[in-house]
Amino acid sequence: MPSSKTTFANSAPPFRAHRLANQTQQKAPGAGFIANPVLRKRLRQVALLAAMLISGGLLIFPREPLLAVVLAACFTLKNPLEMFRAEFAGIWFLLLAVAAVVLIGGESFQLMPMVTRYANFFAGLALLMVYVDERRSTLADDLYWILKLMAIQAILTPVMVIAFSQFFTTFRVNDTIYHSLLYIFTYHEFQDFGLLFKRPDGFFFEPGVFQIYLNAFLFICLFVRQQRLFDIGLAALAVVATQSTTGAVILVLQFAAAYLLWLKTANRRQKLGVFVFVPIMLLPLGAYMTYNVTEKFWGAMSGSAEAREYDLRTGLRVTMEKPFTGIGFDYEKYFDVAGRVGYREADLSRENITERSNTNGLVVLLFSVGIPLALVFFYGILRQRLFKPRLLFGGLIMLSLVSESLSLSPIMLMVTFSGLLIAPRRVRALIPGRRGSAVRPLQRA
């Protein structure tokens, strides 16, 4: 005989059961146009991969189709009108302010640069819209297999070069010659340093960009998913394969932070082992970082450091021409101002200076939108809500941007915008009559 509770539930009036079903459906996170969870995950991964390729994959895939793929996948998952939710008000105010200062600082309406940048803004905002109602671990889970395959790609590239160099084809882009096998294993060299192990480019055609995503994979393995040692070792070896100085520094910082966290959370029996043996295991990584930094700053590859110094000093001088409004997004304007006030003591050729885009993503923000609004972007990065520990991940992104101009790419904008979301309690204060708004997963402290 069924229990009284079962009988009561089964005998509930139809209108009550319908109301309960509606309430359950409203509370389901990430509810959208598509209910199938597997299909939703694949669409999210397609959007993420396309957004990542915009960071550097333009040699194969043009920017416009990639942006279209990002927006199409996001808008298939969520209603585009959700980008105008009250939680996003701070982001929209920032975008309006950016448009205002760019018009003032650029001294003219920069149509194509504005269209390009705002397309990236909308892509970053669309990605955030997709993940804002999902559980915090969803983004890491979606990225996991994409980044793991990229880590395998990074490790195999120098091996494939040694074993099957005769099958690699070459092609030129501007003044750079790339070597590739099926456009999967790709590398290039500005100068021939006689290195046995070539630096993998991945799908980004730049090791410096590649290392950012590989370090993100390491962060996920260390702090989010807490994967087995195999995945941690795979991620670390992939970062080492890129031979990136910034990547090496971030790699060591992540392990140092993980070491401190392990000391804090380990029990008494584990603490002694962690305290003694982990530093011994990390000595090779510290030695690698020291060697890499020495070579890049004072060794045979010191030209890279000189170029970074030129970008930093020149970018700051351009910023001080219009510190409050910036000069806008038109790179021709940057070349003009840099040619007049740029850093002259760098040991670089005239062609390299006059045709060189700035590789410092933080400085690009400063001279593009001015110091006040650039500080808002920096604040958003450091306060990001996508990964925990929040400040650690935000700090690693800031450090990555020192050597790569990706601050206005969709993935980085998603990170930045997540830190500018308005907390639910403030949203309720902004909207008269709104009660009991459910706390969004990404907005929990």
The pLDDT tens digits for 397-441 are: 999 999 899 999 999 999 999 999 997 656 555 555 554 444 455
Q: Is residue 166 part of a domain?
A: yes
Q: Is residue 3 part of a domain?
A: no
Torsion of CA 319, 333, 209, 73, to 10 degrees: 110
- How do 185-188 and 176-181 pair as beta strands? antiparallel
Structure tokens that stand for 68 in this block: 């279209």
Q: Determine, yes or no, domain membership for 4.
A: no
pLDDT at 17: 39
Residue 48 and residue 327: Cα distance in Å, rounded? 30
Within this chain, do residues 158 and 241 fall inside the same structural domain, yes or no? Answer: yes
Q: Which of 12-21, 61-70, 169-178, 187-196 has the lowest mean pLDDT?
A: 12-21
Q: What is the pLDDT of residue 30?
A: 46
Whole-model pTM?
Answer: 0.86
14 found inside a domain? no
**Statement to judge: residues 109 and 159 lie in one domain:** no
182 and 251 together in one domain: yes
- How many angstroms separate the CA atoms of 190 and 202, rounded? 16
Residues 146 and 244 in one domain: yes
Domain total of the chain: 2
Q: How confident is the model at residue 1 (pLDDT cuts 50, 70, 90)?
A: very low
pLDDT of 445 higher than 60 = no
Residue type, 171: F
Percent share of the chain, pLDDT over 70: 78
pLDDT at 344: 72
Taking residues 47-70, what's their average pLDDT?
A: 87
Same domain, 246 and 146: yes
Cα distances (Å, whole numbers) of residue 151 to 123, 158, 416: 25, 12, 25
Q: How many angstroms separate the CA atoms of 324 and 373, rounded?
A: 8
In this prediction, residue 331 carries a pLDDT of 87
Q: Are residues 257 and 320 in the same domain?
A: no
Mean pLDDT over residues 64-88, rounded?
A: 94
**Chain segment 23-54, per-residue pLDDT in tens:** 444 444 445 578 899 999 999 999 999 999 99
Tell me which of 324 and 190 has the higher pLDDT.
324
Task: Report which of 433, 435, 388, 439 is spatially closest to residue 419, judged by C-alpha positions.
Answer: 388
Which of 6-10, 111-115, 126-130 shows the lowest per-residue confidence on average (mean pLDDT)?
A: 6-10
User: Quick one: pLDDT at residue 354?
Assistant: 60
Does residue 384 carry a pLDDT above 90? yes
Whether 18 is in a domain gets the answer no
Query: Mean pLDDT, the chain, as a whole number?
Result: 83
Give the pLDDT band of residue 332 (cuts 50, 70, 90): confident
Q: For residue 441, what pLDDT is reported?
A: 58
Q: What is the pLDDT of residue 287?
A: 80
Is the model's pLDDT at 378 over the cut of 50? yes
Q: Which of 330, 417, 403 is nearest to 117 (CA)?
A: 330
CA atoms of 286 and 317, how far apart (whole Å): 34
155 plus 269 within the same structural domain: yes
For residue 17, is it within any domain? no
Alpha carbon separation from 373 to 97, 111, 360, 362, 370 (Å, rounded)? 8, 21, 17, 12, 6
Query: Of 288, 320, 355, at which residue does a domain stop?
Result: 288
Residue pair 150/214 in contact by the 8 Å Cβ criterion: yes
Which DSSP symbol is given to 29?
Answer: T
Asked, for residue 26, whether it belongs to a domain, the answer is no
Q: What is the CA radius of gyration of the chain?
A: 24
The H or E element that residue 170 is part of is strand 169-173
pLDDT at 22: 42
What is the 3-state composition of the chain as percent helix, strand, coil, each rounded to the nearest 5?
70, 5, 30
- Residue that has been written with the tokens 């959007």 in this structure: 47
Residue with the larger pLDDT of the pair 67 and 17: 67
Domain boundary among 264, 288, 312: 288
Tell whether 10 is covered by a domain.
no
Amino acid 398: pLDDT: 96
CA-wise closest residue to 239 among 225, 255, 263: 255
Predicted pLDDT of residue 191: 63
CA atoms within 13 A of residue 255's CA, in its CB half-sphere: 23
* Mean pLDDT computed over 295-306: 66
For residues 147 and 276, membership in a common domain is answered with yes
Where helices occur in 299-422 by DSSP H, the ranges are 303-321, 331-341, 350-354, 361-369, 371-382, 390-401, 410-418
pLDDT of residue 277: 67
pLDDT of 350 reads 60
> Is the same domain home to 167 and 124?
no
* pLDDT for 4: 40
Beta strand segments in 233-323, E: none
Please give the helix or strand (H or E) that residue 238 lies within, else none. Answer: helix 229-242
201-229: pLDDT as tens digits: 999 988 999 999 999 999 999 999 876 78
Query: Same domain, yes or no, for 149 and 279?
Result: yes
Question: Which domain, by its residues, includes 313?
Answer: 32-132+302-431+438-445
306 lies in the same domain as 423: yes
Residues 152 and 277 in one domain: yes
Domain end (from 288, 313, 329): 288
